Amino acid sequence: MSVIILAIETSCDETSASVVADGAVIKSNIISSQVDVHRKFGGVVPEVASRKHLELINIVIRESLDAAGIGFGDLSAVAVTYGPGLVGALLVGVAAAKAIAFGLDIPLLGVNHIEGHVFANFLTETNPQFPLICLVVSGGHTDLVLIKDFGDYQLLGATRDDAAGEAFDKVARVLGLGYPGGPLIDNLATEGNDRAITLPRAYLEEGSLDFSFSGLKTAVINYLHRLKQKGEPVNAADVAASFRRAVVDVLVDKSLLAARQYETDTIMLAGGVAANRLLRDELARRAAEERLRVIYPPPVLCTDNAAMIACAAHYKYLRGDFAPLTLNAIPNLQL
């Protein structure tokens, strides 16, 4: 008998529901993005996000079951992201999942959003060789994590200020590119020269696996100010390419350093920024030079989606690690 899990993800601005069988077969993965709603504000407005989730949640759940060709009665368990994220947004998913678990009398599984991002890799990599290093790069996180086993993690380093995705979004905003900035910079950068502008790379103390991107962001802002004062035109493609290169250099260097320090032979990428083409290509190229293996999810599973939550939930289900019906949203939940 298959284990069939319905997972719900509402931590930020994507309302998503997915049905996954046995932790690996994606039967459906419905993602309703609110990007168009938030674009006019230049970023996610938490109150607007929770209202939109409320409007969409039942529709998205229904669609995920229909697309999977199943009904509520076929579910083994229901899973939900309960943190980290926006509290009002998380609560919509948590309330829906609890209602389903209670109504059907099936187990409820609470999943950490960051753990979900990591597990996007295990949808396809069903027999990973532990330990391995995972670089989690999203709008809210830049973490290097040692994965010792399913559910056994050690945080090795994190950002001390801006997350990588946040830096992409802020630089895109000052360039007037729009929101979300990561994919826009990624596309524009392909037309620019990544050596056109000298930008700083923060490596912090010798051997440190922490990150810092605020100095880089400020350097881009100062560069644009100087041009404006002098009345010189901005080559946005060159700025995008130089900025993307600076972020990727540090992310790749530190991921390789972590693999060496902890003697792992595999590096995984996870989170929205893992969709970045230069990051994927550079990590694969430089890791191959050191005979390290690189795993990354397809782009659609890098950004927020419920299939990754269902995959993480599957392994919790096998361990019997169920959540009580008193499960609450925890906006600053740690890995």
Q: Which residues bind ligand KG4 (CB under 6 A)?
A: 12, 138-140, 165, 168-169, 180-183, 186, 271-273, 275-276, 303-304
- In the bound complex, what is the minimum distance in angstroms from residue 279's beta carbon to ligand KG4? 7
Q: Is 178 annotated as a binding residue?
A: no
Rounded to the nearest whole angstrom, what is the least distance from the CB of residue 40 to Zn ion in the complex? 22
Comparing CB distances to ligand KG4, the nearer of 94 and 106 is: 94
- The gap from C-alpha 73 to its chain's centroid, in whole angstroms, comes to 31
How many Cβ atoms from other residues are within 10 Å of residue 225's Cβ?
A: 11
Which does residue 118 bind out of ligand KG4, Zn ion, none, counting CB within 5 to 8 angstroms by kind?
A: none
| Residue showing tokens 């100095």 | 215
Least spacing, CB of residue 229 vs ligand KG4, in Å: 29
User: CA separation (Å) from 105 to 3, 145, 246?
Assistant: 15, 35, 51
Binding partner of 306, given ligand KG4, Zn ion, none, CB within 5-8 angstroms per partner class: none
Torsion, Cα 29 41 211 134, to 10 degrees, reads 0
What SS3 class is residue 135?
strand
Rounded distance between C-alpha atoms, residue 176 and residue 211, angstroms: 26
Q: Which residue in 183, 287, 304, 305 binds Zn ion (CB under 5 A)?
A: 304
Question: Please, are residues 48 and 88 in contact by the beta-carbon 8 Å criterion?
Answer: no
110 interface partner picked from ligand KG4, Zn ion, none, CB below 5 to 8 A per type? none
Rounded-to-integer distance, Cα 286 and Cα 271, Å: 20
- The binder of 168, among ligand KG4, Zn ion, none, by C-beta within 5 to 8 A per type, is ligand KG4
Closer residue to ligand KG4 (CB): 169 or 210: 169
Give min distance, CB of 325 to ligand KG4, in A: 26
Half-sphere exposure for 22 (CA within 13 Å, toward CB): 7
Nearer to ligand KG4, 143 or 304 (CB): 304
C-beta closer to ligand KG4: residue 115 or 169? 169
Query: Has 140 been labeled as part of a binding site?
Result: yes
* Minimum CB distance to ligand KG4 smaller for 23 or for 139: 139
β-sheet with 152-158: strand ranges across: 152-158, 142-149, 132-137, 266-270, 293-295
Task: Summarize as ranges the residues that interact with Zn ion (CB under 5 A).
Answer: 138, 304
Binding residues for Fe cation: 113, 117, 304
